[in-house]
Amino acid sequence: MFRGSKNATKVTRALTFSEFDHVAIVLRLADENDVHFIEATGGPGVTVNKWGNIKKHVGEGKFYNKIVYRHVNYDDNEPLLDIFWDFCKEAIGH
């Protein structure tokens, strides 16, 4: 979950009574060391970003003041993973 520093994000938090204004799915792919974020953005729609690209925008006075995460336990059986990846392929870029 992200907490942005811009005025629009403050409005979102006020309207939703939330400490955060943006969410993403965080993934660590088996064949890569970097963590990836699947997120819906205002410009290009749903995108995939590497943590290495996002972390420079996090901190006091930067685009995101704060990021927190919550680990989700799930059953990672093959049919569920296939459904999840199909969803990601369909959503990215839209």
User: Each residue of 35-71: pLDDT tens digit?
Assistant: 889 988 777 788 888 998 899 999 999 999 999 988 8
Amino acid in position 26:
V
Domain containing residue 69: 2-91
Number of domains forming the structure of the chain: 1
Distance CA 59, CA 5 (A): 10
Is residue 81 over pLDDT 90? no
Distance CA 91, CA 20 (A): 23
Global pTM value: 0.73
Distance CA 70, CA 55 (A): 17
